[in-house]
Chains A and B, each alone.
Chain A
Amino acid sequence: MLSSRDKVRDWLLGIWSALALLYLFIPIFIVVLYSFNDNKGRFNFTWQGFTLKHWAHPFSNSDLTTALQHSLIVAAFTVVIATALGTFMALALVRYGFRGKATTELFVFLPLATPEVVLGAALLGLFLTLHVGTGMVTIIIAHVMFTVSYVVVTVRARLEGMDRHIEEAAMDLGATEWTTFRKVTLPMIAPGVAAAALLAAAISIDDYVVTSFNAGQTQTFPLFIFGATRQGVPAEVNVLATILLLAVLVLMGLNVLVQKARARDEGGGPEAGREQVEELAFDLAEAGARG
């Protein structure tokens, strides 16, 4: 039985948690709210009434649209390259013993423990030394460099929780290593790889610090926003950010539904949907901190 003191304690804990979530949630609410602000002139600083006018022409600011396009292109390349490189590294680290394994693990972890400003500055230093002009290509190089480690950590965590016996069984039944990899290992780690790819995309689209060093004259979505803060961020930014947020939430919702349907087919309970969000939380926790 809970004593009344314990009940009070639980209440306080609940209120504290609600306030903490409110703290996390309020700025996002403001971002969405100000996409409906009927602001006069360029400034979108004070609430001046509700309007849908910014939603009518979300792509009217060509600089902003170009910046968003750049971000999406960079993210696409980053995801493909970093996911491929990172997945194979994770496979090597979990599935094989080899010389220098501990050192490799530490080395792969290091970029996660390096402040972004150091990563960005060091890479720009290299490009300056080699007289490489900065632009889209150098942004992609930089993004792959600091997302690879996230992919390794995420995929590795999934691999470690996987039963090796299934692969061994396939090989015992005469499958070659390549067939086993293609038909057994890859489908089994696919959800982990997908999670890692999504994470890499999210980090890449959102990155300001490293990008600011290696972008040259190229604008990306976060760079545009940061640059715009001096003259006032146009409301279209809020519209596009809200659309991005909605897109992610819809994707997550669909994912939960698919998982639920699959769990129903396989006789699983309603727990499956919860596991999705939980796994996402685990992945983000594993991947460590990046703005």
Chain B
Amino acid sequence: MLRLSLKTRRTLLPYLFLGPGLLWLIVFYLVPLINQGGVSLMTGNPEDGYTLTWHFATYTNAISDYSTQFGRSVLFSGIATIACLVIGFPLAYFIAYKAGKYKNFMLLLTVLPFFTSYVLRTVSWQLILNDNGWVVHRFQDVGLLGSNGHLLATNLAVIAGITYNFLPFMVLPLYVTLERLDRRFIEAATDLYASRATAFRKVTVPLALPGIFAGSLLTFIPACGDFINAALLGTPKQYMIGNVIQAKFLNILDYPTAAALSFILMTAILVGILIYARLLGTKSLTEAAA
């Protein structure tokens, strides 16, 4: 065995530890993304193949052709993120401070969705919301839906599905942040005669901001790329950019457009993260999630 000085070994060791994993990520994450950039600038057709022609117009065409789906992705994900926050914050707050001996059980129920298949849970929403289902009939009974009204295949169904699937990712970071929050700040506020509502508004919420941001990112980013909810709970009228990318890539075999679309999506999200990192610092980004 090679005898190296302790110092040399200590400088080499981290690279040895990192090497294999980094190599995997470079070859199967970074290189594909760069390759994707190349593919997006190709022209051709599925029969004769594609060649690199530096055809930048694919990008402008992709944006003008699919601005509706891009807009819908941002809109649906944005609404779902806000809905997750509205539903999730009180839940996280209750689990962290009020649940007492039921804390364990409530946390388990929050993580339970992770133990059944994502696709199957979404199929389950199809059963719940379908036109002959109990829910639609009850909605019709109380007049919330007309006799020919639908819940399935509407914007509402898709947004509700996204909200459902990503709610735990909002609740968990919020819970973690609230749980680790130094409650003496809240006590101090109430000692200084702040009402509970004021203490909540001026102390708890600002201190929970990292959790709110982390939860929002963890909800918004995957929701933007999601196409399972739109495919199973919606119709082509609800399709998001993920549906377009998948269809272009796997059915229509229009690789350049698919590559351009996913590049645009990726860039938009990275810019969003960079703005976020600027506002709160990169460290808080990775730590807020922890």
Contacts and interface: CB of A to CB of B under 8 A. Distances in A.
Interface of A: 6, 9-10, 13-14, 16-17, 20-21, 23-28, 30-31, 34, 45-46, 84-86, 88-89, 91-93, 95-98, 102, 104-111, 113-119, 121-126, 128-129, 141-142, 144-145, 148-149, 152-153, 157, 177, 202, 206, 208-209, 212-213, 221-222, 225-226, 229, 233, 237-238, 241, 244-245, 248-249, 252, 273-274, 277-278, 280-282, 284-286, 288-291
Interface in B176-191: 176
B265 interface: yes
A111 B116 contact: no
Contacts of A152: 21
B66 interface: no
The majority secondary structure among interface residues of chain A is helix
B167 A202 contact: no
A117 B202 CA distance: 39
A89 B20 CA distance: 9
B115 A249 contact: yes
B155 to A, nearest CB: 18
Interface of B: 9-11, 13-15, 17-18, 20-22, 24-25, 28-33, 35-36, 38-39, 87-88, 90-91, 93-95, 98, 103-104, 106-128, 130, 132-133, 164-169, 171-173, 175-176, 196, 217-219, 221-222, 224-228, 232, 241-242, 245-246, 249-250, 255, 258-259, 262-263, 265-266, 269-270, 273, 282, 285-286, 289-290
Given A105-B286, A115-B266, A285-B289, A86 B172 contact: no
For B31, B218, B222, B232, which residue has the most chain A Cβ atoms within 10 angstroms? B222
A206 B225 contact: no
Contact of B35 (A96, A125, A149, A238): A125
B170 to A, nearest CB: 9
A114 B266 contact: yes
A23 B164 contact: yes
B258 A121 contact: yes
A81 to B, nearest CB: 8
15 contacts: A13-B98, A85-B21, A105-B286, A115-B265, A121-B259, A122-B33, A125-B259, A128-B255, A129-B35, A153-B286, A225-B117, A241-B120, A249-B115, A274-B103, A284-B111
